[in-house]
Chains A and B, each alone.
Chain A
Amino acid sequence: EPEVTQTPSHQVTQMGQEVILRCVPISNHLYFYWYRQILGQKVEFLVSFYNNEISEKSEIFDDQFSVERPDGSNFTLKIRSTKLEDSAMYFCASSEARPTGGSSTDTQYFGPGTRLTVL
């Protein structure tokens, strides 16, 4: 069964450093997402991406964050200058397509996550 994969599983970095988290979505999916979960808190939406553009982003997704699909398979989240409060589990997800009508949400398939620790 196709899966979303993420690398690395754990990343430790120093405050102020740039990090890139990588995801390989399911191959025929067209929508891509990043979510994060700070320890002890809820899973939070960061950004959605479709047709090489950000389609939605939350207030968390400020100028320090960027996303990219550099080739036909990878989807990346970059944090330019990490802060202590960026320490969290970051989940990538993908879905086949946005439904053509109504309010139905397409099913999102999640990767195993990358645990980011900022020291």
Chain B
Amino acid sequence: AQSVTQLDSHVSVSEGTPVLLRCNYSSSYSPSLFWYVQHPNKGLQLLLKYTSAATLVKGINGFEAEFKKSETSFHLTKPSAHMSDAAEYFCVVGSAGNMLTFGGGTRLMVKP
């Protein structure tokens, strides 16, 4: 069985400051890991995907995530937050059968 824990349900940052959204996973094999973002009234948009090619994964809009097997973590970061980054972010683990298991989500708020 696999599971995902997003350690913060809400994160608030000021515009221009770094963003850190934390995610820990549990999987019985080498997982595929994803971050998705959901803006209000929009679908889930893929930010980035890890599939063991490289531990540091770069995504869209300046986001990146680092896979750390020893810590079973896949934290999402961005050096400088923008107002348009305010959204809900989901850490997701995939199974070999293509079933996705979602974390509980982190709502990112960006203050001007």
| Interface of A toward B, CB cutoff 8 Å | 3-4, 31, 33, 35, 42-45, 48, 55-56, 58, 91, 93, 95, 98, 102-113
Contacts and interface: CB of A to CB of B under 8 A. Distances in A.
Given A103-B29, A103-B31, A103-B32, A109 B101 contact: no
A24 B41 CA distance: 18
Contacts of B44: 43, 91, 93, 110
B89 interface: no
30 contacts: A3-B43, A33-B98, A33-B100, A42-B104, A43-B44, A43-B100, A48-B99, A55-B97, A55-B98, A56-B99, A91-B43, A95-B98, A102-B96, A103-B29, A103-B31, A103-B32, A104-B94, A105-B32, A105-B34, A105-B51, A105-B94, A105-B95, A107-B34, A107-B49, A108-B46, A108-B100, A110-B36, A112-B41, A112-B43, A113-B43
Nearest to B36: A110
Interface in B33-78: 34, 36, 41-46, 49, 51-52
B32 A104 contact: yes
Contacts of A104: 32, 51-52, 94, 96
A98 B97 CA distance: 8
Nearest to A108: B100
Contact of A98 (B36, B46, B98): B98
A45 B100 contact: yes
Nearest to B93: A105
A44 B90 CA distance: 12
Contact of B98 (A105, A111, A113): A105
B30 A107 contact: no
Nearest to B102: A43
Given A3-B43, A33-B98, 8 more contacts: A35-B100, A43-B105, A56-B97, A98-B98, A104-B52, A105-B100, A110-B45, A111-B43
